[in-house]
Amino acid sequence: MKVAFQGRHGAYSESAAFHLFGKNAETIPLDTFEDLHKTVQSGAVNFGIIPMENSTAGSVLENYDLLLKYRLPIVGELKLQIDHCLIALKGEKIETLTKVISHPQALEQCSAFFDSHPKIEKKPFFDTAGSVERIARKQLRGVGGIASSFAAEHYGLEVLKKPLANFPGTNSTRFFAIQKEPAAIDENLHTKTSVAFMAKKNMPGALYICLGCFAKQNVDLIRIESRPKTGSPWEYVFYADLAGNPLQKNVESALQELREVAEVILLGSYAQGENKGEEF
């Protein structure tokens, strides 16, 4: 089984892939989220893993846009605990570090460490796992990276401090698994559904009418996100996660009613994601 993810080996996305598909999965690192969608669409891999939302940084908006562009069905969900670590070559200590590189969000989430170690420079890098890969490949002395203990293990480096984040235990990322073809819906297993919808007519109360379709049928609307509609300035697409699936009568009725007032795209039904740590 081949599973694509964006980033470098040791990334949190790769950890999510192993949680969802097992340690025997063959993981394929790619440079961009668009590359990932294209690779899944081509059939070169069985699945793709994409981060959708972080509990502290918010939504990964690019992936919402790509879900609509490529229409690859969502077939799984996972919530992964993000535990940032300070990582360096073996033999290093915090006192020997002069610089730490990582993704800007990771640096910001660990700002208290830099406040207490003002002599250590923080330098943005394109990727958390990529920072650790660079340290290992270049054998950079005096340089640390911020990533997962999974990344440290993968590259044979040492964890100098864990946890490192300002508020440990509060940082999680929600991932989707996508594939090329739709999966059959299991009425009992698939407890969550994602849809996109666009009101057919822009008028006062249009969104209220759309959301009322779920309320009238007693469908629990878990989350809603808006994004600009491509090619239509000042018009918007709404993404919604709801409890249940289209085989359930109330969900079927809500979606049928919604289709009367909006264009509706079913993005996928899947089992609600479990909360996982780094350990497999």
User: Rounded to whole angstroms, what are the CA distances from 220 to 202, 240, 244, 265?
Assistant: 25, 11, 8, 18
User: Rounded to whole angstroms, what are the CA distances from 227 to 95, 125, 175?
Assistant: 45, 27, 19
Distance from CA of residue 72 to its chain's centroid? 15
CA-closest candidate to residue 49, choices 7, 84, 83, 85: 7
**Residue 143: left if φ>0, alpha if ψ -120 to 50, beta else—which one?**
beta
Token code pair at residue 73: 């069905």
Token code pair at residue 5: 């993810």
Residue 208 and residue 260 in contact, taking contact as beta carbons nearer than 8 Å: no
Residue 47 and residue 179 in contact, taking contact as beta carbons nearer than 8 Å: yes
Query: Is 175 marked active-site?
Result: yes
Catalytically annotated residue among 5, 175, 197, 214: 175
Token code pair at residue 219: 């469908």
Residue 240 and residue 272 in contact, taking contact as beta carbons nearer than 8 Å: no
d(C-alpha 41, C-alpha 35), whole Å: 10
Token code pair at residue 204: 């006062």
Catalytically annotated residue among 33, 113, 150, 173: 173
Residue 219 and residue 279 in contact, taking contact as beta carbons nearer than 8 Å: no
Strands 2-6 and 26-30 turn out to be parallel
Catalytic residues: 173, 175
